[in-house]
Amino acid sequence: MPQLRIALAQINSTVGDLAGNAQLHVDWARKAAEAGAHVVVFPEMSLTGYPVEDLALRKTFAQGSRQAVDDLARRLVEAGCGELLVYLGYLDSDEAGPRDAAAALYGGEVVGRQFKHHLPNYGVFDEQRWFKAGQTLDVVRLHGLDIGMVICEDIWQDGGPVTALGEAGVDLVVAPNASPYERSKDDIRLPLVARRAAEAKAPLVYSNLVGGQDDLVFDGDSIVVGAGGELLGRAPQFVEHLLVVDLDLPAGGHSAEGSFSGLTVRRRTLGTEPVPAYERIAEAPICEPLSDEAEVWSALVVGLRDYVQKNGFRSVTFGFSGGIDSAITAALAADALGADAVYGVSMPSAYSSEHSRSDAAELARRLGCHFRTEPVEDMVRVYVDQLKLAGTGLAEENIQARVRGMLLMTLSNLDGHLVLATGNKTELAVGYSTIYGDAVGGFAPIKDVFKTHVWELARWRNAEAEKRGETPPIPENSITKPPSAELRPGQLDTDSLPDYPLLDDILDDYVEGDRGYADLLAAGFDAETIDRVIRMVDRAEYKRRQYPIGTKITFKAFGRDRRLPITNGWREGDQRG
């Protein structure tokens, strides 16, 4: 039975950095060659990064990308990878428009070139804006074995390109992917890939990106599945990795050219010599997927780390309030960048409790990060006196939050730190934050984490530390005390908001589920609370628009995932008789 050694290069590309990404391809292809692989599969748009967004429409960028493929073909030969068949993803462009493309490189040449057929245009994806769809399938014959390819969304289609490859008859299907992380998505991928492998009647190699790109994070989790649907190898999540798998390919060189399921299959033969005998490696690793909490934590860490590093920052700063949101942000930042890159600032006002100061200091002590205290009373007083704000309520409360935001931006100007906004998804949903106050920042690490989930993650992270015999990073008091913005004496979040478990339940239905008033009533929430929450969410849209980006972890994150008008006369429930 013919065998082939396949490597999956799960790399962390940077959008737009063609030179840096090309170097990654050379480095990882060399590793694959050294591991004796015959084929290496990089992820979707591995050479350009993903998503390139409207850079897809920039002609010079498409030219640069095509050129980078040709240059890379040559460089791979120089690097000793001339006999390695290299699949990679890049941006192409022809008379029809830009293309989400994959190329097969071998012996210094482009031996196959294919465009993505199915272009997702929902959720965070705007691919029908960016790309034109492909119509052809390129099969490459190597050592007498026929290898077909499909790109990402193409495998989500019943009766699509994979079916066509199955009809044409191939020995192996490779699938470069750029599938952003969201909670529970990996539960869907494996059965899907298994189904497609069965349809192709051939093993399927699913190679996914890792790393953060603005609000998206890619989790890797690359897999190889046999023709019978059996899992043959699985890479770890959230780290660059070369997964090497020896495949038994039962058939051997039987594909046909022509039209299958309405698609054109083309062929290119590199050689029909059987694979020279080689020593089979041990079973490929099948990494266990992370637990739900570990997975989310990793997503948040990698999303933050890559935003900071890919944008040339070395350190972050933000307010240490003593509360849970800043505490978890600090723990994430320390995990992402090291404690030495974290600059916490306590900014007590007249209304700050003693425990908020001591909890903030305790957080810094546990993490071992930088910490300073800048009281804001003098700054606040000038405004309060000049504008006569005493007793004005909201105006006086917001001033404190805004003085703090301004102070952090000043420290950023002085020392080059990136400012982080520490708001969570619940706050962002109901607008429980001060625009230009606690909302300032270049990145918002937990903006897609509901408040109740913040607490769960904090408890999980502390427990992990205890398991490892380390100091739990988050002060217990920050987890257990009732949340407060401390903008007036004795203030509690629950003065203005429903209890967080109830609030998050409603938000889960209204924001994630896009459900209407009747559905919410049917779910058992009371009418008054539904009204109140829905109105808060709808009215906060203008604040969300100006909020920094942050890592998406849920099915529907605020931002390009949920595009609603600011000017919006629709109110759920107004239609009741």
Q: What angle do CA 90, 224, 164 make, to 5 degrees?
A: 65
CB under 8 A: which stretch of 157-165, 262-270, 275-283, 401-409 binds a copy of itself? Answer: 401-409
* Cβ closest to a copy of itself, residue 214 vs residue 504: 214
534 labelled binding-site residue: no
Bridge partners (DSSP) of residue 176 are 207
Question: Is 123 assigned to a binding site?
Answer: no
Q: Quick check: 509 and 519 in contact, CB under 8 A?
A: yes
Separation of CA 482 from chain center: 31
Please indicate whether residue 369 is annotated as part of the active site: no
Sorted by sequence, the CB contacts under 8 Å of residue 285 that are 6+ apart come out as 233, 234, 235, 243
Token readout for 410 is: 């000043």
59 binds a copy of itself (CB under 8 A): yes
Residue 324 or residue 376: which is nearer to a copy of itself going by CB?
A: 376
Whole-angstrom distance, CA of residue 148 vs CA of residue 527: 56
Nearer residue to a copy of itself within complex by CB, 355 or 539: 539
Judged by beta carbon, residue 5 or residue 99, the one nearer a copy of itself is 99
Nearer to a copy of itself, 126 or 240 (CB): 126
Q: Can residue 43 be called a binding residue for a copy of itself (CB under 8 A)?
A: no
Cβ proximity to a copy of itself, 481 vs 562, nearer residue: 562
- Length of the chain, please? 577
Based on the shown chain and the rule CB under 8 A, indicate whether residue 542 belongs to the binding site for a copy of itself: yes
Residue 576 within binding range of a copy of itself, rule CB under 8 A = no
| Minimum distance from residue 345 beta carbon to a copy of itself (Å) | 11
Comparing CB distances to a copy of itself, the nearer of 256 and 382 is 382
Determine, following the binding rule CB under 8 A, whether residue 373 of this chain makes contact with a copy of itself. no
| Paired tokens of 5 | 């050694």
374 sits near a copy of itself (criterion: CB under 8 A): yes
Shortest distance in whole angstroms from residue 87 CB to a copy of itself? 22
Q: Which of 2, 3, 16, 251 binds a copy of itself (CB under 8 A)?
A: 16
Residues paired with 3 in a beta bridge: 248
Alpha carbons 289 and 221: distance in angstroms, whole number: 8
Q: Looking at 116, 132, 310, 552, which residue is catalytic?
A: 116
Does residue 488 bind a copy of itself (CB under 8 A)?
Answer: no
Among 22, 40, 52, 553, binds a copy of itself (CB under 8 A): 52
Residue 214 is a binding residue for a copy of itself (CB under 8 A): yes
- CA–chain centroid gap for 218, Å, is 4
Instruction: Indicate whether 566 belongs to the interface with a copy of itself (CB under 8 A).
Output: yes
Closest by CA to 336, choosing from 372, 298, 379, is 298
Indicate whether 531 belongs to the interface with a copy of itself (CB under 8 A).
no
Say whether residue 281 binds a copy of itself (CB under 8 A). Answer: no
Tell whether residue 568 is a contact of a copy of itself (CB under 8 A). Answer: yes
From 121-129, 313-321, 458-466, 482-490, span contacting a copy of itself (CB under 8 A): 121-129
Phi, psi (degrees; rounded to nearest 5) at 10: -90, 90
In angstroms, what is the minimal distance from the CB of 316 to a copy of itself?
A: 14
Window 291 to 350, contacts with a copy of itself (CB under 8 A): 306-307, 310-311
Burial of 377 (0-12, 13-18, 19+ CB in 10 A): middle
Specify whether 116 is catalytic: yes
Question: Which position among 152, 153, 199, 447 bears the catalytic label?
Answer: 152
Antiparallel, parallel or unpaired: β 258-260 and 263-269? antiparallel
Q: Does 293 appear as a known binding residue? A: no
DSSP 72: H
Distance CA 409, CA 387 (A): 23
What is the C-alpha separation between 154 and 156, in angstroms, rounded?
A: 5
Shortest distance in whole angstroms from residue 344 CB to a copy of itself: 16
Peptide bond into 203 cis (omega under 30): no
Identity of the residue, 282 or 414, whose beta carbon is nearer to a copy of itself in the bound complex: 414
Q: In the complex, what is the shortest distance from the CB of residue 414 to a copy of itself, in angstroms, rounded to a whole number? A: 5
Cα separation, 335 vs 333, in Å, equals 5
- Pick out residues in 431-470 that bind a copy of itself (CB under 8 A): 435-436, 440, 442
Which run of H or E residues covers position 459?
A: helix 451-467
CA nearest 448: which of 543, 549, 535, 302?
549
Is position 153 an interface residue for a copy of itself (rule: CB under 8 A)?
A: no
Q: Is 107 among the annotated ligand-binding positions?
A: no
The alpha-carbon radius of gyration of the chain (Å, integer) is 26
Question: CA 544, CA 559: separation in Å to the nearest integer?
Answer: 8
**Pairing status of strand 85-94 against strand 39-41:** parallel
- Please report where in the chains the tokens 């992380």 appear, as a residue: 181
DSSP string of 278-309, one letter each residue: -PPPSPPPBPPPPPHHHHHHHHHHHHHHHHHH
- 427 carries a ligand binding annotation: yes
- Using CB under 8 A as the binding rule, whether residue 540 contacts a copy of itself is answered as no
Q: Indicate whether 410 belongs to the interface with a copy of itself (CB under 8 A).
A: yes
Q: Which of 248, 257, 340, 514 binds a copy of itself (CB under 8 A)?
A: 514
Give the interface size with a copy of itself as a residue count (CB under 8 A): 85
Q: Which residues are annotated as a binding site for deamido-NAD(+)?
A: 398, 427, 543
- Which residues are designated catalytic? 44, 116, 152
